[in-house]
Amino acid sequence: MTGPTENTTQSKQYPVPDAFARTAHVGSRAAYDKLCADAQNDYEGYWASLARQFVSWHKPFTKSLDESNAPFFKWFEDGELNASYNCLDRNIDAGLGDKTAIIFEADDGQVTHYSYKALLARVSKLANALKAQGVKKGDRVVLYLPMSVEGVVAMQACARIGATHSVVFGGFSAQSLRDRIEDAGAVLVITADEQLRGGKALPLKAIVDEALTLGGCDSVRQVIVWQRTGGNVPMVAGRDVYLDEVMAAQSDVCPPEWVSAEHPLFLLYTSGSTGKPKGVQHSTGGYLLHAAVTTKWTFDLKPDDVFWCTADIGWVTGHTYVAYGPLAVGGTQVVFEGVPTYPDAARFWRMIQAHKVSIFYTAPTAIRALIKAAESNEAVHPRNFDLSSLRLLGTVGEPINPAAWEWYHREIGGGRCPIVDTFWQTETGGHMITPLPGAHALTPGSCTLPFPGIDAAVVDETGKEVPWGQGGVLVVRKPWPSMIRNIWGDSERFKKSYYPADFNGKYYLAGDGAIRDEHTGYFTITGRIDDVLNVSGHRMGTMEIESALVSHPLVAEAAVVGRPDDLTGEAICAFVVLKRPRPTGEEAKQLANELRNHVGHEIGPIAKPKDIRFGDNLPKTRSGKIMRRLLRVVAKGETVTQDTSTLENPAILDQLAQSN
Ligand code: PRX
């Protein structure tokens, strides 16, 4: 057991456990420093050497980085590869055909093991079926599927034939799904009759049907339906086909389609501070390289490990650390259909015990919810389970508060497992700032130092690096292989969002604030600096929620802000002005519920505001700008102490404060 020590800033530091360092892929701070120095001395050479080591190329690349059309960077462009070949065939060729690739646990607890061979056979059948449906290289395929092996198979099958997948999280509404299908110009949708979560069956096919009737989806020629529950769903003749049927007719051999390293592997929609969600476009070669190298180094993945990333394939974490990374390095992983609280809040601990999970990667929100459950019900406390198989823990998606970190370390990791607090984004493709567990002593709440080769820095508004100990804006100063390539169909927005003129268009702007420890230089992420909220590790744009609110016939105006929440990190708080007099009492409650459901219908349940407050109007400057800064204070339940003299209507703050 490794005890913490105090450093000069009074924050606890957990040294690397000796036993861990001895066998780690990157086993010391000196080894980490050496990798960073290699990248520093020959940036392109460093990445090229990793790309040769971690990726199998059908045609080798001759050049690493092409900056000629910055900020539209290209990596390994004349190289050819196939992502699915890298994740499946080459492992089988290396003798891992019978190794378990996926241990699937269904919502009801049923467990199925899939070997690499079995997975390749399924991927090939579906890939052939997609080809038979007329899907071609470069076509976009939308996947609206539950967390399942079928989901991973569908992603890999698209990759196998060079189709670009776009997974839409099963919690998004018909409207959101429609928007994404239209923007991507998808030719085919793969869905399931229903998804099973926490013992409940939720419709998916019905939502696809609704989305396709909302208009703008003429590009879709077919819908493939996986019968997950066998629920009786209506099928549209000439458009809808069953997955089992189309697969049964196909051979289990499908030669991979070789594509350029820059070929778009997938689009994944995510929220920005303005406008509709953006289709983040990722490459094949650079993305796969980072997925593989981070899976191996950050998670210190070894052949005997059982890796479990709890993220849904609908989010980027489920792309990089479920569908691609663990397979690209020949690992064994758990894929889980259900939720952490069903049949009770010990589900995760029971599964770690049953499958002898050695590396466990989840979100701080889940940890906080499970702490609460364990503290109020002894039966679901992790101490009742044998978690001795664990050797490494990880978190992702939002800042982890030190108290939750300590609990995770002590109660789940038995005090012996390092925790990798991994900072990254949909746009970055993989880990950016993260401990390498054999190299870095840990400080709760800090994601420590950049992954070797990632040139992250904290700068002021002029782009100048700020001294350690001073907060600033997080940027990445050099392009890296797995970076976003474009926003699908909107190059201007790409430039504006990520390479703004503020920094001469040279630095990638993450959209987060950060501060480095005065003594160690360790990074701590201080949160988004734009109008993006992080609710339970899910990214939501305030503008999107505002647009959903004002699309309700009763709403005249709405402003959405975040407020801190013990469980979900941030909670959505909406201030609403109606087209009729401000409701109070029961009427306000009812209307708030109606609006909540409306947002759920427009975007999805994850976007439902926790608080809705009604006002006669909103705090605005004389030029008509809504003062969100003040609304954030009101949302927190605090008194506004800032100067409000520039407000057109200062009295509204009192009304909003009392309208909870
Ligand atoms: O604000 C940061 C936060 O999540 C944002 C990215 O969200 P998304 O694209 O949905 O990807 C989430 C999974 C990679 C970031 O801009 N974030 C992510 N990881 C961390 C984090 N904040 C603090 N600590 C982290 N480890």
Tens digits of residue pLDDT in 379-432: 999 999 999 999 999 999 999 999 999 999 999 999 999 999 999 999 999 999
**What was the pLDDT predicted at 1?**
37
**What was the pLDDT predicted at 43?**
98
The Å distance, Cα 397 to ligand 1 centre, comes to: 4
**What was the pLDDT predicted at 8?**
41
Task: Choose one of 319, 525, 535 to mutate for the ligand 1 pocket test, by most ligand atoms within 8 angstroms of C-beta.
Answer: 525
**What was the pLDDT predicted at 641?**
86
Q: What is the mean pLDDT of residues 36-42?
A: 98
Full DSSP string of 358-413:
SEEEE-HHHHHHHHHHHHH-GGG-GGGS--TT--EEEEESSPPPHHHHHHIIIIIT
Confidence of residue 645 (pLDDT cuts 50, 70, 90): confident
Q: What is the mean pLDDT of residues 595-619?
A: 96
**What was the pLDDT predicted at 642?**
84
Q: Is the CB of 542 under 6 A from ligand 1?
A: no
Task: Choose one of 290, 423, 498 to mutate for the ligand 1 pocket test, by most ligand atoms within 8 angstroms of C-beta.
Answer: 423
Q: What is the mean pLDDT of residues 28-33?
A: 98
- The one-letter code for the residue type at 93 is D
What distances in angstroms separate CA 299 from CA 39, 296, 359, 546, one per listed residue? 21, 6, 7, 39
**What was the pLDDT predicted at 5?**
55
**What was the pLDDT predicted at 7?**
45
Q: Is the CB of 365 under 6 A from ligand 1?
A: no
Rounded CA-CA distance 573/634 in Å is 10
Q: What is the mean pLDDT of residues 259-264?
A: 98
pLDDT at 9 over 60: no
pLDDT per residue over 141-182, tens digit each?
999 999 999 999 999 999 999 999 999 999 999 999 999 999
pLDDT per residue over 510-543, tens digit each?
999 999 999 999 999 999 999 899 999 899 999 9
Number of other residues whose CB lies within 10 A of the CB of residue 394? 26
Strands 100-105 and 472-476: unpaired
- Looking from the CA of residue 400, the nearest atom of ligand 1 is 24
Q: Which residue has a Cα nearest atom 12 of ligand 1?
A: 397
pLDDT per residue over 47-103, tens digit each?
999 999 999 999 999 999 999 999 999 999 999 999 999 999 999 999 999 999 999
pLDDT per residue over 573-603, tens digit each?
999 999 999 999 999 999 999 999 999 999 9
State which H helix or E strand residue 51 sits in. Answer: helix 43-54
pLDDT at 319 over 50: yes
Q: Is the CB of 360 under 6 A from ligand 1?
A: no
Task: Choose one of 281, 425, 447, 458 to mutate for the ligand 1 pocket test, by most ligand atoms within 8 angstroms of C-beta.
Answer: 425
Rounded CA-CA distance 114/327 in Å is 12
The Å distance, Cα 439 to ligand 1 centre, comes to: 23
pLDDT at 346 over 50: yes
**What was the pLDDT predicted at 4?**
55
Q: Which residue has a Cα nearest atom 18 of ligand 1?
A: 397
Spatial contact of 338 and 196, defined as CB atoms under 8 Å apart: yes
**What was the pLDDT predicted at 146?**
98
- Looking from the CA of residue 528, the nearest atom of ligand 1 is 1
* Residue 66, beta-bridge partner list: 74
The mean pLDDT of the chain is 95
Rounded CA-CA distance 538/570 in Å is 10
Q: Is the CB of 396 under 6 A from ligand 1?
A: yes
Rounded CA-CA distance 352/342 in Å is 15
Rounded CA-CA distance 158/136 in Å is 9
Rounded CA-CA distance 536/368 in Å is 10
pLDDT per residue over 474-486, tens digit each?
999 999 999 999 9
Confidence of residue 275 (pLDDT cuts 50, 70, 90): confident
Q: Is the CB of 539 under 6 A from ligand 1?
A: yes
Lowest-pLDDT range of 414-418, 550-554, 651-655: 651-655
Helix ranges restricted to H, 87-162:
90-91, 116-132, 149-161
What distances in angstroms separate CA 61 from CA 45, 72, 79, 286, 525, one per listed residue? 12, 18, 4, 12, 36
Q: Is the CB of 534 under 6 A from ligand 1?
A: yes
- The dihedral built from the CA positions of residue 145, 176, 310 and 304, taken in this order, carries a sign that is positive
The Å distance, Cα 271 to ligand 1 centre, comes to: 12
Comparing CA positions, the residue from 368, 463, 507 lying closest to residue 71 is 507
Rounded CA-CA distance 74/96 in Å is 32
Rounded CA-CA distance 377/130 in Å is 48
Q: What are phi and psi of 123, to 5 degrees?
A: -60, -45
Rounded CA-CA distance 360/346 in Å is 15
Lowest-pLDDT range of 186-190, 334-338, 447-451, 643-647: 643-647
Lowest-pLDDT range of 284-298, 308-322, 355-369, 633-647: 633-647
Q: Is the CB of 525 under 6 A from ligand 1?
A: yes
pLDDT per residue over 204-216, tens digit each?
999 999 999 999 9
**What was the pLDDT predicted at 640?**
86
Q: Please tell me whether residue 578 adopts helix, strand or coil conformation.
A: strand
Q: Is the CB of 423 under 6 A from ligand 1?
A: yes
Q: Is the CB of 277 under 6 A from ligand 1?
A: no
Q: What is the mean pLDDT of residues 243-265?
A: 97
pLDDT at 10 over 70: no
pTM above 0.75, yes or no: yes
Burial of 655 from C-beta contacts in 10 A (0-12 / 13-18 / 19+): middle
Confidence of residue 358 (pLDDT cuts 50, 70, 90): very high
The Å distance, Cα 424 to ligand 1 centre, comes to: 5
The Å distance, Cα 291 to ligand 1 centre, comes to: 16
Share of the chain above pLDDT 70, in %: 98
- The one-letter code for the residue type at 564 is P
DSSP state of 59: B
Share of the chain above pLDDT 90, in %: 92
